[in-house]
Amino acid sequence: MTDIQSAFKKHCIVPDILTTAPSELLDIQYRGNIIVDLGKELTPTQVKDKPTVKWATKDTEYYTLALVDPDAPSRENPKFREWHHWLIGNVYGGDINKGEVLSDYIGSGPPKGTGLHRYVFLVYKQPEKCDFSKVKKLPNNSGSNRGKFSISKFAQQFKLGPPIAGNFFVAKYDDYVPKLYAQLKD
């Protein structure tokens, strides 16, 4: 078992949202040289802006990238599991800037007093370019339609198979969260 698979099991990402952990590590870096490192605690302030994400890609393949919070509104009461923070499909050759934005990036925003939330990044290799025309597109000022998402069901619907790469951090409330909530108009 790889370090990433062990970490995904230790933090209960397997089985909470996945049946199989990815074997490859996603390289995720936020502004200010802030690195995501398998369960390291980061603050909502540190992760408010879209990160750079890299993985071992093939130039002629399509990928889907997701960021989900399985602990919404809290780990003890995850009634909105999973809240998706970012979803990009048809990422050709690993360039996320050229992918199809299905849900624009929203940083972490755990409610006050709900403890640490897990924020899980996953990459899936698509069998081909997917038709996401029926998937509702969500801008970064919308919180609607983000809760009760299932990355596993989404992957099954689009025949993505198990995730090929992943990483995650944990975060709890800080003073940036009210600013994020003000940004989310609905």
Domain ranges of the chain: 3-180
| Cβ proximity of 121 and 90 under 8 Å | no
For 135-180, the pLDDT digits (tens) are 999 999 988 899 999 999 999 999 999 999 999 999 999 999 999 9
Reported in sequence order, the residue ranges of the chain that DSSP labels E, i.e. its strands, are 24-25, 27-30, 34-35, 40-41, 52-54, 62-69, 83-92, 100-103, 117-126, 165-171
For 27-37, the pLDDT digits (tens) are 999 999 999 99
Q: Whole-model pTM? A: 0.96
- CA 46 and chain centroid, separation: 16
The dotted CATH code for 3-180 is: 3.90.280.10
* Torsion of the alpha carbons at 145, 125, 170 and 110, rounded to the nearest 10: -10
Q: Which residue from 97, 118, 18 is spatially nearest to 53, judged by alpha carbons?
A: 97
Q: Which residue from 62, 78, 45 is spatially nearest to 160, judged by alpha carbons?
A: 62
